[in-house]
Amino acid sequence: MTMLGTFLKPMHPEGYKFVAIFAAITLVLFWLWEPLGWIGVGLTVWCYYFFRDPKRSVPQGAGILVSPADGVISLIERAVPPEELGMGPEALVRVSVFMNVFNCHVNRAPIAGTIGAMGYRPGKFLNASLDKASVDNERNSLRIDLPDGRQIAVVQIAGLVARRIMWWVSEGQGMRTGERFGLIRFGSRVDVYLPEGVTPQVAIGQTMVAGETVLAVLGRDLPQTVSRTE
């Protein structure tokens, strides 16, 4: 790790056009009035960091479930998974990770498995930290089927500022733990629904790092120190 690498992170290709737009506006602002130009520089740097896509050290081991998003745990409660995933009417433990506009917004698979179902539903753009955002807001849901027959739901939820949910996976596709599967632009939330009997190992207010922070451990397996860079 170099000093330069500490501050300069890779950027997701989705951000190229936005950084270019911010940079062009910044040039116009400098032409109009220099102080406005420096404000534009600050916003351009923010845009670059919003779309950053740093490598993560993904913990390896049977049953380890990692956070799908950077952010803060905003809710831990029982709720029924989205009906489009076909997981039944029973409430499961739901862990919500709220991402503000300064977090990295690339989403990662919480655990290895096969995408058994997906579903997009348009909706509102309420503050993503609110409980009702899980029901009312625009969302994209996916169900990860595990080899032992259990299922985990991951739901990308648009927020007050977010206006586009992106994903680049499809039903039947296999995923590795920590693998990138989507992105939400400008403030949002990701919910994870745990299998029955699994207790989250995080607390409300805890800061999460996508692909690295252990959210829960399935069965009796314990997190291992072995990791890989993803």
For 181, phi then psi, to 5°, come to -130, -15
Report CA torsion sign: 100, 9, 167, 73.
negative
HSE at residue 71, side-chain half, CA atoms within 13 A, is 28
pTM of this prediction?
0.84
Among 57, 134, 188, 227, the one annotated catalytic = 188
Which residues sit opposite 66 in a β-bridge?
214
Which SS3 state, helix, strand or coil, does residue 28 take?
A: helix
Rounded to 5 degrees, φ, ψ at 79 are: -155, 160
Collapsed DSSP state (helix, strand, coil) of residue 69: coil
| Residue 188 known to be catalytic | yes
Q: What is the pLDDT along the chain (230 residues), one digit of tens a residue?
A: 444 454 567 777 777 888 898 999 999 998 988 889 889 899 988 778 777 888 888 998 888 999 999 999 999 999 999 999 999 999 999 999 998 888 888 999 999 999 999 999 886 655 555 565 566 678 899 999 999 999 999 999 886 655 578 899 999 999 999 999 998 876 688 999 999 999 999 999 999 999 999 999 997 544 444 556 77
